[in-house]
Structure formats: structure tokens, C-alpha cells
Amino acid sequence: MDYRIKAINCVKDTVLPVYMQWFQECNFNLDTFCQKYGDTEFFFAKEIEKGHIYEMGYPKCVCSEALEGGKEAAFCECSRQSMLYILKNMMPQKHIEVEIIETVLSGAEKCRFKVTFE
């Protein structure tokens, strides 16, 4: 399965416009964005190394397809790809890497990703 295409189709008309508006409200500053919107019901973000490494994720599984059941942890690649797609749209000039730390489908309480900006 091509999780990248699935992820883009999932967030391009829903989550992306909201995050882009929030990012614009924060004067395109990632640290301000994380401080202002990094502790909500659907998203969290914390700075590990200013301007370079962050932990971002979801306090609970937010994927309706995953919540239907029967999905393996590999399905969370879709969430990784959606986060990567959104962040690359927010900051196209940056090289961005997103790594899965843990996910609800792998047995964790929340979905956590390590995000590196170069």
C-alpha cells in the first residue's frame, strides 16, 4: 500500500488548511506554533533541540480507519507520512525527517514521532 498517497488524500483538505492557518498566525515560527498549538486534544508538540529536533504526535489515535480495528502497527506509516506532508507544506525550504517512536497500534498510550529539521 502506498501510505504517502493515502496520507495526502486524508489531510490535504482537512488538517493541512487548519495547520497552515495556525502556522501563519504564528508568523511562520515553529517554536511559537508548538507553544500555542502543541497541547490540544488532537495534537502535541514539544521542543527537544530548538529549531532542530521536536517530538510531535497525537494524545490518542485520530485515524478513523485505524479505529475501525484490524490494523497492524505498520498502518501507522500513514500517520508518519501525513505529518511529513503537512510539515513540508508548512516549511518547504527545510529538509524534514519524521520517525515513528511509538503508536497506539503498537500498544502505546499515544502516537509519538521524532521530527528533525535541517
Q: Categorize the per-residue pLDDT at 32 as very low, low, confident or very high, splitting at 50, 70 and 90.
A: very high
| Statement: residue 59 has pLDDT above 80 | yes
Map grid coordinates 529536533 to a residue: 53
Looking at residue 19, what is its pLDDT?
A: 96
Over residues 60-104, the pLDDT tens digits come to 988 888 888 888 989 999 999 999 999 999 999 999 999 999 999
Tell me what percent of the residues of the chain surpass a pLDDT of 90.
84
The distance from CA 18 to its chain's CA centroid, rounded to whole angstroms, is: 13
